Amino acid sequence: MRTADGPYTWNAIDDNMTRMTLRNKEIPTGFSKVFAPFMSQMMKRANMKDLKKIKGILDKI
């Protein structure tokens, strides 16, 4: 998934923390309805992996 102005929201929690929320919303049709639950889990796993990588990079700064 790539996007320039993604479906992101940013909220300051305090002076040192910011929460980013990513919303993906699609309505599967046809054959993809069968795989929607699996795709949802795979996307969640991929997002968590990416966020851990970003956190690791930011923690080194």
Residue 20 DSSP symbol: E
Instruction: Note whether residue 12 is domain-resident.
Output: yes
pTM of the model: 0.53
pLDDT digits (tens, 9 = 90+) for 5-47: 667 788 999 998 888 887 767 777 787 778 888 887 888 899 8
What pLDDT score was predicted for residue 5? 60
Angle formed at CA 34 by CA 38 and CA 23, multiple of 5 degrees? 50
Total of domains in the chain: 1
Q: Give every CB contact of residue 25 below 8 A, 6+ residues apart in sequence.
A: 7
What pLDDT score was predicted for residue 49? 93
Does the structure show a pLDDT above 80 at 2?
Answer: no
Instruction: Note whether residue 16 is domain-resident.
Output: yes
Q: Give every CB contact of residue 56 below 8 A, 6+ residues apart in sequence.
A: none
- The H helix count followed by the E strand count for the chain is 1, 2
Supply the range of the domain harboring residue 15.
Answer: 8-25+33-60
